[in-house]
Amino acid sequence: MQGIEIHLVPFDSPVAQRLITAALADLGARYGGNGDETPVAASEFTPPHGAFLVAHLDGQPVGCGGWRSHGSAGDTAELKRMYTAPQARGRGVARTVLAAIERSAREHGRKRIILECGDRQPEAVAMYTAAGYEPIPNFGYYADAPGCLSFAHTL
């Protein structure tokens, strides 16, 4: 998609934190609470153990997402904090970020990527399914939560 640029940034950078705050607010509106209580640390998103990416559309930061290592085998990445600002939705931002995350994880030796999301995110579920993600048993912080959906994709 023209006009979309992807930049690797620190998870705790101001631009990333603005987008993450918006993502958590969106999740909070859908599910209540703070949006996502999953423990995350900025250091988890530092190469080669992870990465955090921000999408710019026409020069403005409008989306983000990252991956962090999952499990002890070293071959699995976990997708975290995917978000597209409302004004940029429907313009290919999320799919571009997802492809960049997959590419980054693959370049760092990951063979598989997993994620958890919820049943109140039908647009996310549709995008992941269209991108080849398949349902897996729930894992992680929300494994036993009602409405939790987990997916995996071979890289």
Q: Which residue has the tokens 């313009």?
A: 91
Say which residue the tokens 């020069």 belong to.
59
Query: Which pLDDT value is given to residue 13?
Result: 98
Give mean pLDDT, residues 117-146: 96
Q: How far is residue 62's CA from residue 1's CA, in Å, rounded to a whole number? A: 14
Q: May I ask the CATH architecture of the domain 4-113?
A: 3-Layer(aba) Sandwich (3.40)
CB-CB contact of 40 with 64 (8 Å):
no
Distance between CA atoms of 98 and 119, rounded to whole angstroms?
19
* Amino acid (1-letter code) at residue 113: I
pLDDT score for 1: 45
For all residues of the chain together, what is the average pLDDT?
Answer: 96
The two beta strands, 76-84 and 112-118, are parallel
pLDDT surpassing 60 at residue 10: yes
Structural domain spans, the chain: 4-113
For 71-100, strand residue ranges (E) read 76-84
Asked whether residue 113 carries a pLDDT value surpassing 70, the answer given is: yes
Tens digit of pLDDT for each residue in 17-68? 999 999 999 999 999 988 889 999 999 999 999 999 999 999 999 999 999 9
Residue with tokens 């983000």: 64
At residue 2, does pLDDT exceed 80? no
